[in-house]
Each structure stands twice: as structure tokens, then as C-alpha cells.
Amino acid sequence: MKTLRIGTGAGYSGDRVEPAVELARDGQLDYLVFECLAERTIALAQQARRQDPAAGYDPMLDARMRAVLALAVRNQVRIVSNMGAANPVAAAQKTAEIARALGLHGLKIAAVVGDDVLEVVRRGDYRLEESGATIASLGDRIVSANAYLGVEPIVEALRTGAQVVITGRAADPALFMAPLVHEFGWALDDWHRLGQATVAGHLLECAGQITGGYFADPGFKDVPGLARLGFPIGEVSETGDVVIGKVPGSGGQVTVATCKEQLVYEIHDPCRYLQPDVVADFSQVTVEEIAPDRVRVSGGRGTPRTPTLKVSVAYTDGFIGDGQISYAGPGALERARLALEIVRERLAIIGVQSDELRFDLIGVDSLHGTALSRGAGAPYEVRARVAGRCASLAEARRIGNEVETLYTNGPAGGGGATQSVREVLAVQSVLLPRECVETSVLVMEA
Amino acid sequence: MKLRNLAHSRTGDKGNTSNISLIACDPKHFEHLRTHVTEARVKAHFHELVQGEVVRYEMPNIGALNFVLLHALGGGVTSSLALDAHGKSLSSALLDLDIPEPTL
């Protein structure tokens, strides 16, 4: 039976590059997929594109393509990636430029466009799913609106024979499902098969998270070689069943436990994992080790896809100001608490306008609050942190500033004060009827 | 005993919702987890952090429970003031829950 070997070259935009090279060189792959778009990434990319029309694709595209293109061509590995972000066409052009520089003339690259639906969303009368507010109410704070595309436009791109396919926003599993649909000729209403394909895609989409990454808990769950973690290879058969493995000798491990953690990751209701192409059902999935570092996952099912596509809408929503300062030795906790009290009082005195303020003791209660934090013993060192959300940059800056003034106005022995401000790019979603999203494929040659 | 001795966990996020899995290290302990790690217990454990309800999905096929915690991330990953805005470290907090030792 024919099997397809798909490797994951990246599980998020800042992921390591070396494991992708290892896969391109030794993975004996048919496809190498780079998944590089989180919720907010495309909004940041859209802002970059506004500054420079040639920008807006993943900043690491250059490094990744330079690292793997020659190997991919030599070993006949096709590449699929959403590194196009807010500018898939520019990403394809950049890839063509790199290919030429590497002597890979004639390399065919396809860009998938159409996920950018900002104008459609602006013209319509849509409501944000999470808050219920209208798109109109966001005014000119709206930065981007991108639809999660499914397999169809990616399959169209693969059909052109393009060696590299670059998309903008797409459903992460779809990046892995499209090669399967293309190579095996599955029908787009073969719901159970698409459901199982979703299982395969979902297992692979976070790269190292299934090969022992984000898993180790020393003494309870030990994983060797995390600095040399091998990214996953999925061997998928015509039935859709997938065997997860990795390059022999690479770090990490593929076990029933690592696969279960990735299977259940972020799926909410396992019976209804919504994708553009299918409503997947993971409730009958089985996970079985068939050899060391080889685990078979099968049993995914599906029901018909919904009439809408999810669209991620990003908009500016104020600024967050942050200030921190550390205390150590005897009385560190008391001095840090005093520092927080002083800043709280100061922010009121100088009238900082914020819709929320937060006071943390890093090393004591900053992650999970007082109820869950261990009360036992005084820490040797603690870092006081104040953060707040404000409408303007100037106002947000005042927060970090007040923390810094503790140097000469606060408790004894405070050191290492830092301050920062960042703009908030909030993300919510809108559901668009499928007919409103028009995609197309642009092909170019190096 | 601590839940960490019987199960492992991973957290994901979507907007203002946290999703924490709880997977039995040994599938024979799934029923024990089902009995003792209820929606109410998890809601109480996270009472200071979670403003919305806690929904539990069961996956007996793999011996796992999947908890969805609503209004748990300080308004949402992108606007939260928390250091761990994604709430990724919540899995560790869940594994610190006290439960009776299983008889099996």
C-alpha cells in the first residue's frame, strides 16, 4: 500500500531551523510542511506590510528556505508552508530569488491568495463571535481579517506541479491534509477519511510537541536529547492511518504518551473539532506503539463541514505598560510587597488612566495567584511587577516609570529595574459564508 | 496523593478559554480520574483564576479527560496582563491537585 511521508519543518513562527534541515536531508520525505502562523502573527505581519508593501511574510522565511531548498530539490521533497502570512506573493518571490541564488533555476513556486478578507468583512454586517460587538464598532482600529482556508486551494496549487506552495492563513491541519488529498485522490466529501486526515495533521502541526518536546517533567517524564530534538515524520497510508516517527538518532522520543498529549491539545470537544474541510471526531481514535519511536494513530472520523469559514480579526486595543524590580536576602518578600503598595498608591496619586492594573510577585504568586501558590517558606529573592492596560502609549509608559522611581524613592536594596510598553493587538473571530471567500493560485518560476 | 503521580497534562488556549488535558499514565486509572477529577473540583481548584464555567469531555478511548475552562485567561491571550497570558503553566497547577490513592 502506498504511504506518504510528511515531515514538520516548524511548529510555530520562531521554531528551530536545524531539525528541518535534518528532515530534508535524512527524513526520506515526500513533503516538508512549515507551520508558522499563530493567532496574532498575521496581524503583526499585516502591520509590517502597511509600512512596506514588499514585507508581510514570515521574517524567518529567508533563513528557512536557504537552509532547506537545495536539500529538498535534491531529495525531491515538496514544501508546503503558511510562511506567506500577510503577503504570500512576496514570500513566493523571495523564495524564487533564493532559489536562483542557490542555482535552483526552474524551481516552481505557487502562492495561494484569498485568505485576506478585510474588505469583505468591512463591507458586511458581521459580529465578533466572542464579544458580540459589530465590525463597524471597531472603526479604523481593525488591522486584519484572514479566513482559515482549507485544503482546496492548496490542492489546486499542488496540481500545478509547484515544488513549493506558500499560503497565508490556512487551518494548520489543512497544510498536511492537502498533500494527502492530492496524492491519494480522496473525495472532499469523504468525511471519515478527512476526519482521520485531520488527526494526522493535528498530530504533526506542532512539530516537536509530539516527539518529546513540551513533555519532559524530570523524575516523572524524562526525555533525552531535547537540544537535538528531532521533528516528526508522519507516514500516512491510503486509509489515512498515520504512523508517527522521527529521524533515527535524533533527540526526543515518540511514545503513546507524547502522541496522546498532542492528540488532545487544544481540541475542546473531541467529537466536534471544527476544520474548514470537515467536522472531525477524535472520540474513537486509538494510539498504539508498534516499535520504539513509532506510534500508529487511527480511528479518526468526521461529519460534513459547516457552511461558514472562521475568520481571524485583529484590531488595536490599547497598550500594556510593565515595570519590574528585584529584591533579595532577608526581608525580600516584605520589601517587594511594600514596593507594590507604593506603586499602587503612586498610580492613583498621579492619576494614571488604565482599565486594569496587575501587581505580581514573580517567584511567589505571579503565575497562578495566591490560592494555588505554595505558602511555605520565604523566597531568597523575589521580583515585583506592575502591569496595566491603558488607552495610549504615553499613559502606559507611566506605569513602568513609577516602578523605576523606586530606585530612589522605594524600599531598600531594590535592583535590576526594567520597564516596557507594547501595543495590544487583540484577536477575535467572525464566521463568513464560504461563498464570500475567493481564492486563487499564482505560479512563478525561479 | 498528587494527581501528578497518576496522570500527565498539557494546556492550550483559544481567546479567553483554556483547554487542559488530563491523561492517565496507566489507562486502568481512567475511571479513578473520572470519579475524582470532576468539573466541580477543577473549578474549585482554579476558583481564583477562572471566571467562567468548567466543561469536562471524556475520551475513554485513550484514557483522557479534556477540560475547557471559560473566561480563564484574563480577558484573552492578546490582552491579558498576566506573565503567562496563554495560561500554558496551568497544566502544572492541575497536576498538583490532591486525590485519593487508587485501589488498583
CATH of the domain at A351: 3.30.70.100
Give residue A304's pLDDT: 98
Q: Give domain status of residue A435, yes or no.
A: no
Q: Is A246 helix (H, G, I), strand (E, B) or coil?
A: strand
Same domain, A287 and A341: no
- The pLDDT assigned to A375 comes to 66
Write down the mean pLDDT value for chain A. Answer: 96
Structural contact between residues B24 and B42, judged by C-beta atoms closer than 8 angstroms: no
Of A217-231, A245-259, A265-279, A372-386, which range is least confident? A372-386
CB contacts under 8 A, A 21-80 vs B, are 39-40
Domain hosting residue A411, numbered range: 313-429
**Mean pLDDT, to the nearest integer, of A407-425?**
97
A245, A232 Cβ separation under 8 angstroms: yes
pLDDT at A364: 94
Q: Which of A129, A256, A289, A367 to mutate to test the interface with B (most CBs of B within 10 A)?
A: A367
* Min distance A20 CA to chain B CA atoms (Å): 24
Q: Are residues A405 and A270 in the same domain?
A: no
pLDDT reading at B104 higher than 80? no
All residues of chain A having their beta carbon less than 8 Å from the beta carbon of residue B68 are 268-269
Maximal CA-CA distance, chain B: 45
Instruction: Measure CB to CB from residue B59 to each of A264, A425, A429 and give the nearest one.
Output: A264
Q: Pairing state of beta strands A286-291 and A294-298?
A: antiparallel
Q: What is the pLDDT of residues A2-26, one digit of tens each?
A: 999 999 999 999 999 999 999 999 9
Whether the predicted pLDDT of A90 surpasses 80: yes
Contacts of B91 in chain A (CB under 8 A): none
Choose among B8, B75, B83: nearest Cβ to A261. Answer: B8
Q: Which residues of chain A have a CB within 8 Å of the CB of B66? A: 264, 267-270
Return all residues near B73 (Cβ < 8 A) that are at least 6 apart: B13, B15, B16, B17, B18, B80, B82, B85, B86, B87
Domain boundary among A274, A306, A338: A306
Mean pLDDT of A434-439: 97
Residues A153 and A170 in one domain: yes
pLDDT at residue A39, rounded to an integer: 82
Asked if the structure places residue A144 within a domain, the reply is no
- Name the A residues in 281-340 with CB < 8 Å from any B CB: 282-287, 299, 317-318, 320
From A221, A369, A389, residue closest to B49, measured CB to CB: A369
Please tell me if residue A369 touches chain B, with a CB cutoff of 8 Å: yes
Residue A128 within any structural domain of the chain: no
Across the interface, whether the CB atoms of A264 and B66 are under 8 A apart is answered yes
Query: A294 with A336, same domain?
Result: no
Range of weakest confidence among A369-373, A412-416, A440-444, B65-69: A369-373
Query: Quick one: which of A194, A276, A283, A287 has its CA closest to A243?
Result: A287
Same-domain pairing of A194 and A102:
yes
> Mean pLDDT over residues A297-309, rounded?
98
Give the model confidence (pLDDT) of A388-409 as tens digits: 999 999 999 999 999 999 999 9
> Same domain, yes or no, for A26 and A156?
yes
- Residues A48 and A192 reside in one and the same domain: yes
CB hemisphere CA count around A440 (13 angstroms): 3
A183, three cell numbers: 496524492
Instruction: Give the DSSP letter string of B11-63.
Output: EEEETTEEEEEEEESSGGGHHHHHHHS-HHHHHHHTTTT--S-EEEEEETTTT
* A160-214 pLDDT tens trace: 999 999 999 999 999 999 999 999 999 999 999 999 999 999 999 999 999 999 9
Neighbour tally for A108: CB within 10 Å: 16
| In a shared domain, residues A97 and A19 | yes
Tell me, yes or no, whether A122 lies in a domain. no
ipTM over cut 0.85: yes
Residue A203 and residue A94 share a domain:
yes
Detail the DSSP E strand segments found in A23-85. Answer: 31-34, 78-81
Give the pLDDT band (50/70/90) at residue A376.
low
Q: A217 and A331 share a domain?
A: no
| Whether A240 and A318 share a structural domain | no
pLDDT at A377: 76
In this model, does residue A131 exceed pLDDT 70? yes
Domain total for chain A? 2
Count of CA atoms in the C-beta half-sphere (13 A) of B3: 27
Task: Report helix, strand or coil for A230.
Answer: coil
- A294 and A239 part of one domain: yes
pLDDT band per the 50, 70, 90 thresholds, residue A363: very high
